[in-house]
Amino acid sequence: MTTLSNHFVQVTGQDFTVNGEKIVFRGFGLGSWMNLEHFMIGLPGTDTMIKKAFADVYGKERSEKFFDRFLLEFVDERDFEFLKKIGVNHIRLPFNYKYFIDDQHPGTYKNEGFTYLDHVVSLCEKYEIYAILDLHSVPGGQNPDWHCDTYSGLPLFWEYGALRDTVIGLWGHIAEHYKDQPWVAAYDIVNEPSMVTNAEVFNEFYRKIIAEIRKVDSRHIIFIEGNAFTTDFTMIDPIDDPQVAYEFHFYPFVDEPAVLTHDMERARRKEIFADAFHRLITIREKYKRPIWCGELGLVFEKEDIDFQVAIIEDMLDLCEENDVSWALWTYKDAATMGIVYPRADTPWRQLTEQIKQVWNQHQEQEKGEALVDFMAETYFKPISKEERYPLQFRMRTIMQVICVEQNLKPYLQERSWEEIYELPASFHWDQCEQWDELATLIRKYTKA
């Protein structure tokens, strides 16, 4: 591995620097790679549920062979040639803790996580694109949603110190492996904590994990994320470590869905975006450290791509005007949020288009909310919006189990092992297309 110290990204005041020169991160997340996300990959269930479905249908050994191929072939040299061509200088690498930890033997680390991370980090090094390692799923779940691979719809990670201790040890293990790798720019400790209620627990976790990393690695940046899917930093105390920085995520349409409609004038949309963005970036002054918008993005549709790219432009303009580093979510998926996606005639897309006829994420969310309302109104009294919000996550975990049985397994059972094993090839560069409109926009900022 390259060990030239002047390649390490560092925190200098409120900037990121390399060898004393300021760097602004502009790039992508590699979502739904080492942590499957149902709507992005087109398969219902959480990461663990999807993999179990493959094992149930094809057997454990074949399932492991399938996902090994998926992980090693999801991106390759041609993807990095494209990223370099459009001027990307970093990529966020989300991963599931289960690649490193067996829940039944939490004190023993598995090596497969490094097999897959090293595969991409080596490409990052070759093409001089920084990697930021993002622990996207932790034991018990750091938030209640599917993207942390939860079975319960509860953020149990914040309830049990034993779970947090496991992750503290894991980051020490990861830091030992990458301590001399300058093309790993930073460690993103835990993705989108939410429903954290105990500030003491929250801050103690970050203090302990930083101390564990610093036992072996003093050079890498450590990113701290806030509560409420990293939009609320009121609980987070300042941290006395020179290489700590702060990360927020920017999805303003979650609270203001009208911004995604053609009815709203662009000037009004920009006002709404600006108000939300400026509230988030107050953390730069609060902590006197550099900040990174680790996620922003949108679902793209062919018939509306110009309008949707204009929305991305409005969000990225805010980052650029306010000197904020950014990573678009996401680089590649099954034609949802990715700039690169398999063509409609590929086997993966043919499978997922079939599944779309019976399942999609938006229906899952709406049905989860409706079922909570039905339960309350039928057996109890109507409940408040505040009570309803956490309960719908728990309802959706039940629905996901049913959807895997009824809306995933039957479609797998229709296909032979030989057909299934060829599915990952759909993500090869020559089987994909990309949103040229978005690539052109990115070049506007990267000057590539």
Contact 259, 270 (CB under 8 A): no
For residue 4, the model assigns a pLDDT of 45
CA dihedral (146, 151, 156, 161) in degrees, to 10, reads -120
d(CA 146, CA 139): 13
Superfamily of domain 5-343+432-446: Glycosidases (3.20.20.80)
φ and ψ at residue 307, rounded to 5 degrees:
-65, -45
For residue 2, the model assigns a pLDDT of 40
- Domain map (residue ranges) of the chain: 5-343+432-446
With b for 16 or more beta-carbon neighbours within 10 A and e for fewer, the 103-118 pattern comes to eeebeebeebbbebbb
Give the contacts of 344 (CB within 8 A, at least 6 positions apart).
335, 350, 353
d(CA 422, CA 65): 11
Count the Cβ atoms, other than its own, within 10 Å of residue 239: 16
Distances (CA, A) of 319 to 89, 264, 308: 16, 22, 17
For residue 5, the model assigns a pLDDT of 53
d(CA 249, CA 231): 6
pLDDT tens-place values along the chain, 448 residues long: 344 457 899 999 999 999 999 999 999 999 999 999 999 999 999 999 999 999 999 999 999 999 999 999 999 999 999 999 999 999 999 999 999 999 999 889 998 999 999 999 999 999 999 999 999 999 999 999 999 999 999 999 999 999 999 999 999 999 999 999 999 999 999 999 999 999 999 999 999 999 999 999 999 999 999 999 999 999 999 999 999 999 999 999 999 999 999 999 999 999 999 999 999 999 999 999 999 999 999 999 999 999 999 999 999 999 999 999 999 999 999 999 999 999 999 999 999 999 999 998 888 888 888 999 999 999 998 899 899 999 999 999 999 999 999 999 999 999 999 999 999 999 999 999 999 999 999 999 999 9
For residue 207, the model assigns a pLDDT of 98
